[in-house]
Amino acid sequence: MQTSVVIISHNEEKYIAKCIESVLNQTQKPDEVILVVHNSTDKTFEIAQPYPIKIIRLNGESGPVYARIEGIRNTTKDIILCIDGDSVAENNWIEIMTKTLEKNNNILVGSYIEINGTIFDTLSNTFNKYFCVSNGPRATRWLWGASFAFWNKDKSFVLDVFEKSINPAKELKFPMGRIAEDYWLALFMNKKGNLEITNNTYVTAYSKETSIIKSMLRNRVNHKNGNAMRKFFNRITKH
């Protein structure tokens, strides 16, 4: 199976080279790499130019969902993997994610996310590495935009979910640009087929929080928003 990797970025000049190199230097090489440079005002685009990848410059609405949509629309291979520009993939990421997707009739898979940030994040990593391993409904709580993969044949469905996630996020009064499209995707894909999260590979995400308090607050907000989204989802899909 051939693979497309979509990288989304917004002012990631500090990490984008590490991200791209981690994707290119995999045990299973990607067949297509698409970088979406979204509303960037730094040197992300210039840093990425020397690499053998397709680069799309996108300006407009803020929020990662718009970059994901643009990147996924441009993919052409059998399996689509997504990663954020401030993240670095373990060298077996494509191989393990592909193998995980190909088993158990899975339609959406994710991996363990290691947060490189504060002491709070380090402690959380120890817990998350073991408890993230899951499938079915439980896996919806562990699917993150920094690392997920799905079949190209489901691309239209995925794009439709992303596009439809924008209005509910506004109705729930999420902050501007914080749509949480990855969680919406997990909820809708769980209705369609099987999900699985593996810890046989991982992605390291570099946190922009510099204090323990901010890390804890981020975790609390994510949990609160997740519960609100789940209730909203159950309400609109119960019939």
What is the model's pLDDT at position 32? 99
How would you classify the pairing of strands 87-89 and 194-206?
A: antiparallel
Give the DSSP letter of residue 106. E
- 185 is written with which tokens? 């995707």
Average pLDDT on 188-203 reads: 96
What is the model's pLDDT at position 180? 74
CATH number 2.40.110.10 given to 3-237:
no
Chain-centre distance for alpha carbon 17: 18
* Cα–Cα dist 126/134, whole Å: 16
Distances 80 to 9, 21, 35, 131 between C-alpha atoms, Å: 17, 18, 13, 25
Q: What is the pLDDT of residues 96-123, one digit of tens each?
A: 999 999 999 999 999 999 998 777 778 8
Residue 46 has pLDDT above 60, yes or no: yes
Instruction: Pick from 170-179, 196-205, 209-218, 222-231 the range whose average pLDDT is largest.
Output: 196-205
Predicted model pTM: 0.88
Backbone angles phi, psi at 202, to 5 degrees: -160, 165
Average pLDDT on 15-30 reads: 99
Q: Which amino acid would we find at residue 179?
A: I
- Where are the domains positioned within the chain? 3-237
With cut-offs at 50, 70 and 90, classify the pLDDT of residue 69. very high
